């Protein structure tokens, strides 16, 4: 592979297999579904598929389906005609049209609402669509590469994702395993990132102690390669190798302790405690007999319980919001809204 394109680093069997699949399918016009946890390298795989195809010189257009509410994803994908809805004061081209003969990367496809799933399926079948509010059919020629960090098969079973759309986008399936399942990739990734980042930021490449390398290889990596990259940026810029060692040692090696050693409360305990607190809020020593309405207590309890649970899940995922949203079974975007509302942040 030429060295100016995206490079997938790693020596594990699974990474080799992924490179092999990319070589085989890059130039075949089949839809590809890439799945894996957040930060494993799904976008990198998508960009490689595009780069090593004959569409390379054409656009690669990414649509993050989790970043937009349903109605906006639709306009984003298909564009609209002037006057299609209030505020549509001029015609706008959608991403499918912009991708033309290139590739369209539908990131977090599991987040698109049901109504839009039906429309997307239709477009993929017909390979044409009108802009919203328009009649003229536009050809959908872009190659579709989708990614998900959800288990779409489970989403189908729970009725959240259409099976027919799944089969349509999943002609070729590429599964990128979490970094913790391919520890042999850590060392080459570390060398690659340190080399690359030190050149990019014009900083000397730091020496890595064997102890730190060992810790990096045994850490649980809930944020996968992205988290590793961030640690290395920190090492390069701040030089905090001792702090990083201590962090990995305490947060990393004990991340998944046996349940009996687990110091964090169970979700039930978190709910119970937050509900108790909401009730305790009612206690007003000066006006013993004034009770709030049931609705008031319920709202307060729900808010507290939600906040406590979200906080706990975020702490356990090392503030990996995508992972937390998955565990909480809400969309990434919904979680971001809640964090804003609840004024929750890592520090
Ligand atoms: N095998 C790899 N070799 C080199 N860099 C990698 C590799 N895997 C991931 N990266 C880098 O790690 C970072 C995260 O990867 P990427 O954005 O592709 O993950 P993702 O799975 O698409 O994440 P998300 O689900 O959160 O969108 C990027 O900077 C990417 O270039």
Cβ of 42 closer than 6 Å to ligand 1, yes or no, is yes
The better pLDDT of the pair 303, 191 is held by: 191
Report DSSP letters for 191-244, one per residue. HHHHHHHHHHTT-PPPP--HHHHHHHHHS--TTHHHHHHHHHHHHHHH--HHHH
Between helices 294-316 and 267-280, what is the axis angle to 10°? 140
**Sequence-ordered list of residues with C-beta below 8 angstroms from that of 153, at least 6 positions apart, any chain:** 166
Cβ–Cβ < 8 Å for 6, 44: yes
The pLDDT confidence band at residue 279, using thresholds 50, 70 and 90, is low
pLDDT at position 13 is 97
Backbone angles phi, psi at 138, to 5 degrees: -110, 135
Cβ of 177 closer than 6 Å to ligand 1, yes or no, is no
pLDDT at position 332 is 84
20 vs 314: CA distance, rounded Å: 35
Report DSSP letters for 301-332, one per residue. HHHHHHHHHHHHHHHHTTT-HHHHHHHHTS-H
Report DSSP letters for 38-57, one per residue. TTSSHHHHHHHHHHTSTTTT
pLDDT at position 276 is 67
Q: Does position 226 have pLDDT exceeding 50, yes or no?
A: yes
Q: Does position 259 have pLDDT exceeding 60, yes or no?
A: no
**Mutate which of 12, 13, 14, 44 for ligand 1 pocket (most atoms within 8 A of beta carbon):** 44
- Cα 37 to averaged position of ligand 1 atoms, centre (Å): 10
Q: Does position 278 have pLDDT exceeding 60, yes or no?
A: yes
DSSP state of 110: G
Q: Does position 46 have pLDDT exceeding 90, yes or no?
A: yes
CB atoms inside a 10 Å sphere around CB 198: 15
Average pLDDT, the chain: 87
Quick one: average pLDDT of 325-344? Answer: 84
Cβ–Cβ < 8 Å for 316, 302: no
Q: Nearest C-alpha to atom 26 of ligand 1 is from which residue?
A: 38
pLDDT at position 343 is 80
The pLDDT confidence band at residue 1, using thresholds 50, 70 and 90, is very low
Q: Which atom of ligand 1 is nearest to the CA of 15?
A: 1
CB atoms inside a 10 Å sphere around CB 72: 10
Q: Up-side HSE of residue 110: CA atoms within 13 Å toward CB?
A: 25
Cβ of 44 closer than 6 Å to ligand 1, yes or no, is yes
The pLDDT confidence band at residue 189, using thresholds 50, 70 and 90, is very high
Q: Which atom of ligand 1 is nearest to the CA of 107?
A: 27
- Cα 235 to averaged position of ligand 1 atoms, centre (Å): 19
Q: Which atom of ligand 1 is nearest to the CA of 229?
A: 12
Beta strand 79-80 with 92-93: parallel, antiparallel or unpaired? Answer: antiparallel
Q: Does position 298 have pLDDT exceeding 90, yes or no?
A: no
176 vs 232: CA distance, rounded Å: 21
Q: Does position 305 have pLDDT exceeding 90, yes or no?
A: no
pLDDT at position 282 is 54
CB atoms inside a 10 Å sphere around CB 213: 14
Q: Does position 330 have pLDDT exceeding 90, yes or no?
A: no
H or E element that contains 143: strand 143-148
Quick one: average pLDDT of 146-164? Answer: 93
**pLDDT above 90: percentage of residues in the chain:** 58
Q: Does position 258 have pLDDT exceeding 50, yes or no?
A: no
- Cα 299 to averaged position of ligand 1 atoms, centre (Å): 40
Quick one: average pLDDT of 203-219? Answer: 92
pLDDT at position 70 is 76
pLDDT at position 121 is 96
Q: Give all domains of the chain, ordered by start, each with its CATH number.
A: 13-177 (3.40.50.300), 180-252 (1.10.8.60), 259-342 (no CATH)
- Cα 275 to averaged position of ligand 1 atoms, centre (Å): 39
The better pLDDT of the pair 236, 293 is held by: 236
131 vs 77: CA distance, rounded Å: 9
- Cα 11 to averaged position of ligand 1 atoms, centre (Å): 16
**Sequence-ordered list of residues with C-beta below 8 angstroms from that of 171, at least 6 positions apart, any chain:** 30, 31, 32, 33
pLDDT at position 285 is 46
| β-bridge partners, 147 | 34
């Amino acid at each position: 592979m030429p060295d100016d394109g995206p490079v997938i680093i790693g020596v594990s069997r699974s990474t080799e297999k992924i490179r092999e699949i990319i070589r085989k399918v890059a130039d075949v016009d089949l839809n590809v579904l890439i799945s894996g946890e957040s930060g494993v390298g799904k976008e990198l795989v998508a960009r490689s598929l595009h780069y090593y195809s004959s569409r390379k010189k054409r656009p690669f257009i990414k649509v993050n389906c989790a970043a937009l509410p349903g109605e906006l994803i639709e306009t984003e994908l298909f564009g609209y005609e002037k006057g299609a809805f209030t505020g549509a004061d001029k015609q706008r081209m959608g991403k499918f049209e912009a991708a033309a003969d290139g590739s369209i990367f539908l990131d977090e496809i599991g987040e698109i609402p049901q109504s839009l799933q039906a429309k997307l399926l239709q477009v993929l079948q017909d390979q044409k669509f009108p802009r919203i509010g328009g009649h003229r059919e536009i050809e959908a020629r872009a190659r579709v590469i989708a990614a998900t960090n959800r288990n779409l098969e489970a989403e189908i079973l729970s009725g959240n994702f259409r099976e027919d759309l799944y089969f349509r986008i999943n002609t070729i399936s590429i599964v990128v395993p979490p970094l913790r399942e391919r520890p042999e990739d850590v060392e080459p990734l570390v060398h690659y990132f340190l080399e690359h980042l030190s050149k990019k930021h014009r900083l000397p490449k730091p020496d890595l102690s064997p102890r730190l390398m060992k810790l990096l290889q045994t850490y649980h990596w809930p944020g996968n390669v992205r988290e590793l990259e961030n640690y290395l940026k920190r090492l390069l810029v701040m030089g905090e190798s001792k702090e990083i060692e201590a962090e990995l040692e305490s947060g990393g090696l004990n991340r998944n302790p046996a349940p009996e050693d687990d110091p964090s409360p169970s979700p039930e305990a978190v709910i119970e405690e937050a509900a108790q607190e909401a009730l305790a809020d009612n206690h007003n020593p000066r006006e013993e007999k004034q009770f709030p309405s049931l609705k008031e207590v319920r709202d307060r309890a729900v808010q507290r319980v939600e906040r406590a649970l979200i906080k706990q899940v975020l702490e356990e995922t090392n503030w990996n919001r995508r992972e937390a949203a998955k565990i909480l079974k809400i969309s990434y975007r919904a979680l971001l809204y809640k964090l804003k509302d609840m004024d929750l942040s890592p520090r």
